[in-house]
Amino acid sequence: MSIRFTEALAAEYSRLHDTCEIRPERFAVVDRAVSAIVAKKSRYEAAVSGLGIPWYFVGGIHNLESSLSFERHLHNGDPLTARTVQVPAGRPIAGEPPFTWEESAADALALDRLDRVEEWSLPRLLYEAEKYNGWGYRRFHPEVLSPYVWSFTKHYDKGKYVADGRFSHTAVSQQCGFAAVLRRLEERAEIPPLAARPPSRTFFRFSSSSAEKPRVVDLQRFLNTFDGIRLRVDGAPGPKTSAAVERILGSFLEGDPRNEA
């Protein structure tokens, strides 16, 4: 049973990413993992060639599934010298063992239909990572954010499934979560900053409704801190407010016809 990628879920992932901090006591481990992933970037790029999957998605998954070993199947950590015996068993179906890591990884990614993902936004990256691991935490223990994604960040403290399949409220994941890797990759500028969410295009619209008045008031007060801008703080995003926004940010408020001129 899967969980659909909805706008609400995307917003949740974005919010979590916005507030994601790597735990200081785990920082060195995360940084080492990121260095190891970056060092093998060419192999990850080869594995996702033609699939449209970001190389760093595979790097983060590889770290979690196989501790960055290139001698094991990405599906489940079985050795590449034979087809998988753990579930999913008998993979890859095509070809003959021993498999290259790239062959196996491409099979694992296609098996999970990751090659069909059309847009790899930040929330989608986090969604697909959690999905790759499975929905057990979200479905049965929503009080704990999946350690597969959030371990080693301040969003995860404790709680995990243990060897016999039971959930322990006290067990602590010792793995570097996917989001920690992603965050550190961004911080090191190894990948472009990922958009936590699409730009808010309707936040300050020209002639907004009164429902947005408090935010517009904040905006006008902010604009008034710039030299030469003197707006009446009335919560109404009219032509003068829009002109002040244009002066500071280079474009008028959305919906202002002067943007079309």
Residues 172, 89: Cα–Cα separation, whole Å: 29
**Chain positions contacting other proteins, by CB under 8 A:** 1-2, 64-65, 67, 76-77, 83, 85-90, 111-113, 132-134, 136, 139-140, 148, 160-166, 168, 170-172, 174-175
* Closest CB 173 distance from other proteins, rounded Å: 8
Residues 242, 253: Cα–Cα separation, whole Å: 5
* Closest CB 172 distance from other proteins, rounded Å: 8
- Looking at the Cβ atoms of 43 and 73, the one nearer to other proteins is 73
Residues 128, 179: Cα–Cα separation, whole Å: 11
* Closest CB 43 distance from other proteins, rounded Å: 20
Q: What is the number of other CB atoms lying within 10 angstroms of the CB of residue 170?
A: 8
Q: What is the number of other CB atoms lying within 10 angstroms of the CB of residue 111?
A: 15
Of 147, 181, 195, 187, the residue nearest 41 (C-alpha): 181
* Closest CB 91 distance from other proteins, rounded Å: 9
* Residue 200 token pair: 């808010």
* Closest CB 71 distance from other proteins, rounded Å: 12
- Looking at the Cβ atoms of 166 and 201, the one nearer to other proteins is 166
- Looking at the Cβ atoms of 139 and 247, the one nearer to other proteins is 139
- Looking at the Cβ atoms of 116 and 201, the one nearer to other proteins is 116
- Looking at the Cβ atoms of 136 and 235, the one nearer to other proteins is 136
Upper half-sphere CA count for residue 195 (Cβ side, 13 Å) = 9
